[in-house]
Structure 1
Amino acid sequence: MDEIDKLLKDLKQEYTENKPQKPQPNSPSIKPSSFSSPSSSSSSKSTKSSSAIDKLLDDVKSDFQQKDLAEELQRKEEIELEKKHQEEIRLKQQENLRKQAKIWLEKLEPLSQEGLWFEKFAEGYPSSLEAAIDYLQGLETE
């Protein structure tokens, strides 16, 4: 019996030595996340990675949108400047034409053939200056 007791004692000792090495389901040292499968762990890493990529893509998209808005604003400003420039040119041309019309009217002989013709021509205009401007514009386009 002594041998059996010795054998039982040895088995018990081996059992107690091996027991801490085996994982226990209710052990407080084991966290629930350690039970997750490798695919779910990589899934959470993938989710973190994809959210970082999404954030980066959103930042890039935002940068491009800001750049597009800045370019659009610059184009609008350039168009406005061009419109102002064209308007200034038109006003200068109109003023030059007005001066030419005044000079032409001063030189016009009222009783000459051209003067008599112009008198009839100017009847449909609010002033003889307006008629002279229109007449001179017509001469320039020919």
Structure 2
Amino acid sequence: MDSIDKLLAELQTEYKEVQPQQQQSKSVVAKSFISSSPKSASLMDNLLAEVKANFAQEDAAIELKRQQEVEQERIRQEQFKAKQLEALKVQAKEWLAKVDPLSSEGLWFERFAESYSSKLEAAIEYLRSNE
């Protein structure tokens, strides 16, 4: 048992000697990292700023594209409505030409049209409401 105790004591002594050396080497590495840190921090800040700028630029490009798509859709909708209105004007003119002004429908329409600036406008509104 005495030899085991000696061996254990030797191992403990060696371990205690190795441990301070490891701590010293860690502190040397930490000091070298800290001393080079201002340069690397500046480099990291520059990289971070560049990445942020790239993301901001991409976001701006995406937003611009989205706005352009919205504007194009609005223009398409306006063109579609204009075509519908033109088709409705043609139908209204045809309807006005066919309606008998002395019929019940014709008399009703005369009264209905009084609140509009023109009979065509009234006929368009009348046909729109019957769709």
> Post-superposition shift, 1:120?
1.0
Bigger mean CA deviation after superposition, 42-51 or 52-61? 42-51
Number of the residue aligned with 2:85 = 94
**Residue 102 to residue 39, structure 1, CA distance change in 2 (3 Å):** same
Q: Does 1:56 align with 2:52?
A: no
Superposed CA RMSD: 1.6
Number of the residue aligned with 2:120 = 129
Could you tell me how far apart the structure 2 residues matched to 1:139 and 1:39 are?
A: 84
> Post-superposition shift, 1:44?
3.1
Aligned length: 104
Rg larger in structure: 1
Amino acid at match of 1:52: L
Number of the residue aligned with 1:139 = 130
- Fraction of identical pairs, as percent: 53
Q: Which protein has the bigger helix share?
A: 2
| Secondary structure, counterpart of 2:79 in structure 1 | helix
**Residue 95 to residue 62, structure 1, CA distance change in 2 (3 Å):** same
Number of the residue aligned with 1:105 = 96
Counterpart selection for 1:80 from 56, 71, 77: 71
The unaligned stretches of length 5 or more in structure 1 are 1-36
Could you tell me how far apart the structure 1 residues matched to 2:50 and 2:123 are?
A: 63
Number of the residue aligned with 1:13 = none
Could you tell me how far apart the structure 2 residues matched to 1:38 and 1:88 are?
A: 70
Could you tell me how far apart the structure 2 residues matched to 1:122 and 1:88 are?
A: 27
Q: In the TM superposition, what whole-angstrom CA distance separates every residue of 1:17-45 from its partner, at most 9, and x where no partner exists?
A: xxxxxxxxxxxxxxxxxxxx987654330
> Post-superposition shift, 1:132?
0.4
**Residue 138 to residue 39, structure 1, CA distance change in 2 (3 Å):** closer
| Secondary structure, counterpart of 1:124 in structure 2 | coil
| Secondary structure, counterpart of 2:130 in structure 1 | helix
The unaligned stretches of length 5 or more in structure 2 are 1-27
Provide TM-score, normalisation by structure 2: 0.74
Number of the residue aligned with 2:61 = 70
Provide TM-score, normalisation by structure 1: 0.69
